[in-house]
Amino acid sequence: MATLTCPGCGAAVSHDDLICFTCGTNLPRRSPVEEEAAPPTVMQEYLRPGAAPPKPPATGPISPVVLRLAFPAGNVDVPAGTSLVLGRDPAESLVAAAFADYENVSRRHATITVSDTGQATIRDEYSTNGTFVNDDRVLPGTDVRITDGDRVRLAADVAADVSLPRQGFSSNGHPSAG
C-alpha cells in the first residue's frame, strides 16, 4: 500500500486517519471504488439471482410458545426466539407507550428473553428502581428465569402476571406438553 501524505503539511498519514495529527487538516475520504467491499448480508445473498435459500441454524425447531405479560396498560407478548426491552424510551423499547405514565420505570428498565425452546428470562438493565420476580429483586445484569404464574414488577407499582404455556420439545424435536 502506498504511503499517504497530508495535503496541508506533507506529513505521513494512515489511510484510516480522518485528520492530520501534525497540522489538523481534514483528510479526503477514499472514494467508494477504493473502499473495501463489505461481505454481503444474509438477505443480499438470498436475493442474489440463482442463490440457494439460506440454511437455518442447526438449533432445532423454534417453539410456538409466546410469553404474555399482562400489565395494567395492556398485554405484552414475546414470541420464542426473541427478546424485548421494557422501558419508557421509545428509542429503546417497542412497548414504551405502556410505561409512559410511570416515571419510576427507567427508560431502559429490563429485558425479557424467550429462547427458541420457550424458556423465558428477565434481566434488570441497571434500572433506578429495580425489577422484581415474585417480590424478589433481580440483581442488575443477571438473567432470572420466569415461568407461568410468576409475577413481574418494574419499580414499585407496575406489575404483570406471566403467562407462559408449559410446552417443550421431546428428544425427537416434536412439541410435547410439559
* Residue 83, phi then psi, degrees to nearest 5: -135, 160
Cβ contact 147:120 at 8 Å: yes
What is the spatial distance between Cα 123 and Cα 117, in angstroms, rounded to a whole number?
18
Query: Does domain 66-169 fall into CATH 1.10.760.10?
Result: no
Amino acid 130: pLDDT? 96
Q: Where in the chain is the domain with CATH 2.60.200.20?
A: 66-169
- With CA atoms as reference, report the closest residue to 74 among 55, 96, 58, 52: 96
Query: 19-51 pLDDT, tens per residue?
Result: 777 777 777 765 554 545 666 665 566 566 666
Amino acid 144: pLDDT? 96
Binned average pLDDT, 10 residues per bin, the chain of 178 residues: 78 78 72 56 63 57 78 87 92 88 94 91 96 96 95 94 71 44
